[in-house]
Structure 1
Amino acid sequence: MPEHICPYGLKARYLLRSQGYKVDDHWLRTREETDAFKASHKVATTPQTFIDDQRIGTYDDLRRFFSKRVADPDVPSYRPVITVFICALLMAFAALIATPRSTPIQQALEWFIAFSMCILALLKLQDVESFSTMFLNYDLLARRWVPYAYIYPFAEFLAGVLMISGRLSIVSIPLALFIGGVGAISVIKAVYVDHRELKCACVGGASNVPLGFVSLTENLMMVAMSIWMTLRHVL
C-alpha cells in the first residue's frame, strides 16, 4: 500500500511459495477492511494464512506449521556475543592477510581482542542509557559510582581503538586492565558467588544475553590483552 508495507506478509507469501504452494494474496487496503477482517476472524493481527480454508495463523504460526524454528524473544541466548566474536576473529585474520607477510600470527590474536572490544562498545553506545541501567544490576564500581556506567562503553572503545593502532599503550593497557578487572570481579561475584540470574549488558541494554561465562570472557580478554601487551613492551 502507498503508506504501509507489511514485512510479515511478504515473508509469509515467500515461505508459502518456497514450500510449493500457490498463493492467493488478499490485500487489506484500508483501516476499515483490516478492522473488519480482524473482527470477522477474531484475530488480533495480520497477516493471517489459510490453507484449504483452514486458518493457520500468523507468520510465526506458519513457520511452526512447516516445522521451522521460531525464535522466542524471552529465551536467553548467547548468539549476539558469539556473533561479535566470530566477526571480530574474521576481521582480524582479514587484516592479517592484508598486512606484509612478516607480520607475526599473534598480531591477529591481538586484533581479534581489540576488534571485539570496539564492536561490543559500539553496541553499548547505541543506547548508553539502557546499557547503564542493565549494567548497574551487577557491576560493583558502577553501583558505588553511577557515572562509571556511562563512562564504561567510551573507555572500552577508546582502549580497543588504541590497541588496534598500537599507539599510546601507556593509556590503553591500564585502561583495559582496569575495566576488564573490575568487570571480571563483578561477574564472578554476581554469578558464581551470589548465584544471581541476570542479563548481561555486554551487547547493549536491550539484549537477552545471560550473565555468565561468555560475559566473563569479554572482561578476561581485556585483562589478558593488557598483561600480554605489558609483557611484550617489557621484554
Structure 2
Amino acid sequence: MLYRMVTPEHICPFGLKSLDLLHRQGFDVEDHQFKSRAETDAFMASEHVDTTPQIFIAGNRVGGYDDLRRYFHQPVADPNATSYQPVVAVFATALAMALAGTWATTGTLISVRSGEWFVAFSMCILAILKLQNLETFSNMFLGYDLFAQRVVRYAYVYPFGEAVSGVLMIAGGLFKWIAIPIALFIGGIGAISVFKAVYIDRRELKCACVGGSSKVPLGFVSLTENLMMVGMATWMAVR
C-alpha cells in the first residue's frame, strides 16, 4: 500500500518514484492518493509520521522513498557526499558537441577544430552553470580565488568573462584580441589560486567550477579548467 500526495498544487515526486520502484520490483500496489493538504496532515497525524509518501508491505510500514530503497538493498544518495558527476556531465557533453560539430562542418570526426571546440564548449557550459546563481557561485569562489579576495566584484564578473571568451573561441578567432587576454587572465589567476589553496595551503574546499552548490572538491578538476583556458588562449595567439 502506497500513501502519497496528489493535489492540483503538488504531485509528490517521491510518491511517483516509490510507485515506479514498487512496480519494477513486481508488487501490486494499492495507490492511495491524498487530494488535499488536510487529508495528508490527517494521515500523518494518525500514523505518527512527519512525511509522505509512506509505504506498507504485507501490513508492515516500510517508511518513505529512501526507506523503500533500503528495503530493496538499493543505494541511497547522500546529499553531502563528494561527487564528480557534474564535471563528467559537462566534459562528456562538450566533447560530444565538439565531435558532432566537427563532423557536421568538415565531414571528419577528430581534428584540430574538434579539440578547440571541446575547450570552448566546456567553457560556455561551465559559465552557464555559474551564471545560474551568481551569489552562491561568488560565495564559494571568494573562498580561494586570490584576485577576487582583493577585488570582490571580480567574483561576479568571472563567469561572464568565461562565457564571452568561450563564445568567441567557438567563432574561430573572431575578436581574438578580446578572447585571448580574458582567457589568459582568468585562467592564469584561477590556476595559481587553486594550486595555492590545494597544494600549498592544503585546504579542503569545494570547487565553484560547476556553480556554487556543487559537491566537487577543489583540486585537479578546477585546475584543469583554468589550464584549459590558458592553453587555448596560448594556442590561439600562436596560431
TM-score under structure 1 normalisation? Answer: 0.95
C-alpha distance in 1 between matches for 2:109 and 2:219? 35
Q: Trace 1:1-12 onto structure 2 (pairs within 5 A).
A: 1-12=7-18
Whichever residue aligns with residue 174 of structure 1, its letter is P
Q: Trace 1:108-147 onto structure 2 (pairs within 5 A).
A: 108-147=114-153
Indicate whether 1:207 and 2:201 are aligned.
no
22, 26, 49: which is aligned to 2:28? 22
What secondary structure sits across from 1:130 in the alignment? helix
Deviation at 1:11, TM superposition (A): 1.1
Tell me the percent identity.
62
199-208 or 62-71, larger mean C-alpha shift: 62-71
CA 1:111–1:46 in 2, change beyond 3 Å: closer, same or farther?
same
Q: 1:126-146, CA deviations, whole angstroms, 9 ceiling, x for partnerless residues?
A: 111111111100000000000
Deviation at 1:88, TM superposition (A): 0.1
What secondary structure sits across from 1:204 in the alignment? coil
Whichever residue aligns with residue 182 of structure 2, its letter is L
Task: Check the 8 A contact 2:100/2:109 in 1, yes or no.
Answer: no
Gap runs ≥5 in structure 2: 1-6
49, 63, 72: which is aligned to 2:78? 72
Q: 1:110-129, CA deviations, whole angstroms, 9 ceiling, x for partnerless residues?
A: 00000000000011111111
Quote the residue 2:198 is aligned against.
191
Deviation at 1:103, TM superposition (A): 9.1
C-alpha distance in 2 between matches for 1:176 and 1:70? 40
What secondary structure sits across from 1:99 in the alignment? helix
Quote the residue 2:3 is aligned against.
none
What secondary structure sits across from 2:62 in the alignment? strand
Quote the residue 1:89 is aligned against.
95
Q: 1:157-197, CA deviations, whole angstroms, 9 ceiling, x for partnerless residues?
A: 00000000020111111210110010000000111111111
C-alpha distance in 1 between matches for 2:108 and 2:40? 65
CA 1:230–1:57 in 2, change beyond 3 Å: closer, same or farther?
same
Quote the residue 1:60 is aligned against.
66
TM-score under structure 2 normalisation? Answer: 0.93
What secondary structure sits across from 2:61 in the alignment? strand
Deviation at 1:227, TM superposition (A): 1.5
Indicate whether 1:176 and 2:176 are aligned.
no
